[in-house]
Amino acid sequence: MSQPHHFNPLAIAISLAILTSPASIANAQTVIKIDGSSTVYPITKAVADNFQAAKKNAINVTVGISGSGGGFKKFCRGEIDIVNASRPILNSEMKDCKSARVQYVEIPVAFDALTVAINPENSWSTSMTIAQLKKIWEPAAQGKITQWNQINPAWPDEAIKLSGADEDSGTYDYFTEAIVGKAKSSRHDFTESDNDNVLVNHVASNKNSLAFFGFAYYIENQDKVTAVAIDSGKGAILPSVETVENGSYQPLSRPVFIYVNIKAAEKPEVKAFVEFYMKNALLLVKEVKFFPLPPRAYATMLEHFNNKRVGSVFSGKPAVGLTIDELIRREDRLQYENF
């Protein structure tokens, strides 16, 4: 016959004390949620990994990929603390955030050179003009401009295999604005992906392929793909540290961002993460093959963050053709587009 169980108040009190002790609370990880651009992902992931190591994994930073557009949808619904964005917040997204009472601090973190890539066996289109790229990508090209020799009679009579960022991507928005003249305006008969590595492999596997993606993915795969030199009227320019810093790689140089929910910024872990980001961005941005801003720019952005300067300096429009110096002048403005 089993013995009856006796209620032991002392044992229960000791158990509760253990469960609510500082050591137990510390073991329950705090989470910072980040999502958005696949282009900005390598930067923020590098920062997150280093931050977690510095905090001995007491804080968990999750970094997802859903494209800038997908990220802003989550951000403006208050589902994430920070959004990675490869272009400024758009008017429609500003309205969504405003209606949900989500305020944010806009922080440029680096520059990217959006890269047009071809297969190494392609010897004919190693440089292209903006007009040629527009002829390939504009909406009117769909189903009509399908062969290389339609762009230049000297090029092969072979089918162009196009791929690029998906339509939720800030890279897609920026590329179409810069090349076609209007964001989201392009042909639709191309292979889309929100994964830049898929695009790299698409180019690497077919000599007639052409794609666009962030510079970091090109640099990491130079043995598989070749960058196209872009001629915007002043000669053909390849993407590089020098051509981005001196402003000559146009119009495909662009700033990339994080946006921080102002309510989330009140949480000590988010505040600590953003401060860590700004203080370590210079080295980590270089490490993942992006172009860092000058040191004073990061100091300025940290000041804006600590002062909770909400809004955007871009008026809901893509920042096409902006140089690093011009970006910094914009960010030094006293007035943002406020709520």
pLDDT digits over 168-190, tens only? 899 999 999 999 999 899 999 99
> Is the domain of 51 the same as that of 161?
no
pLDDT of 72 strictly over 80: yes
pLDDT bracket for residue 318 (50, 70, 90): confident
pLDDT given for residue 2 in this prediction: 43
What is the spatial distance between Cα 310 and Cα 101, in angstroms, rounded to a whole number?
A: 12
> Is the domain of 69 the same as that of 138?
no
pLDDT of 33 strictly over 60: yes
> Is the domain of 90 the same as that of 134?
no
User: Is 12 among the domain residues?
Assistant: no
335, two tokens: 């007035």
Contact 213, 190 (CB under 8 A): no
Number of Cβ within 10 Å of residue 142's Cβ equals: 14
User: Is 338 among the domain residues?
Assistant: no
pLDDT given for residue 28 in this prediction: 57
User: Is 279 among the domain residues?
Assistant: yes
Residue after which a domain boundary falls, among 246, 263, 293? 246
pLDDT of 27 strictly over 70: no
> Is the domain of 239 the same as that of 139?
yes
β-partners of residue 163 are 191, 211
- What CATH number did the domain enclosing 87 receive? 3.40.190.10
> Is the domain of 118 the same as that of 239?
yes
pLDDT given for residue 335 in this prediction: 47
Residue after which a domain boundary falls, among 223, 246, 269? 246
pLDDT given for residue 205 in this prediction: 97
pLDDT given for residue 14 in this prediction: 47
> Is the domain of 107 the same as that of 123?
no
Range of the domain at 91: 31-111+255-332
Taking alpha carbons only, the member of 190, 186, 163 closest to residue 174 is 186
β-partners of residue 259 are 83, 106
> Is the domain of 226 the same as that of 259?
no
pLDDT of 18 strictly over 60: no
Please give the mean pLDDT across all residues of the chain: 90
For the chain, what is the domain count?
2
> Is the domain of 121 the same as that of 204?
yes
Taking alpha carbons only, the member of 273, 250, 221 closest to residue 59 is 273
pLDDT bracket for residue 148 (50, 70, 90): very high
pLDDT of 328 strictly over 90: no
pLDDT given for residue 167 in this prediction: 87
pLDDT given for residue 22 in this prediction: 47
The model's pTM is 0.85
Question: What percent of the chain has a predicted confidence (pLDDT) above 70?
Answer: 89
User: Is 20 among the domain residues?
Assistant: no
> Is the domain of 131 the same as that of 214?
yes
CA geometry: angle at 173 spanning 172 and 178, to 5°? 100
> Is the domain of 193 the same as that of 215?
yes
User: Is 190 among the domain residues?
Assistant: yes
What is the number of residues in the chain? 339
Contact 47, 82 (CB under 8 A): no
What is the spatial distance between Cα 210 and Cα 1, in angstroms, rounded to a whole number?
A: 80
pLDDT given for residue 112 in this prediction: 94
Taking alpha carbons only, the member of 191, 186, 192 closest to residue 141 is 186
- For 158-167, write each residue's pLDDT tens digit: 999 999 999 8
pLDDT of 104 strictly over 60: yes
> Is the domain of 80 the same as that of 42?
yes
pLDDT given for residue 102 in this prediction: 97
What is the spatial distance between Cα 151 and Cα 132, in angstroms, rounded to a whole number?
A: 6
* Lowest-confidence segment of 3-7, 84-88, 108-112, 304-308 by average pLDDT: 3-7
> Is the domain of 117 the same as that of 107?
no
User: Is 149 among the domain residues?
Assistant: yes
Specify the higher pLDDT residue, 324 or 102.
Answer: 102
As a whole number, mean pLDDT of residues 60-78 equals 96
Residue after which a domain boundary falls, among 246, 273, 288? 246
User: Is 2 among the domain residues?
Assistant: no
User: Is 39 among the domain residues?
Assistant: yes
pLDDT bracket for residue 25 (50, 70, 90): very low
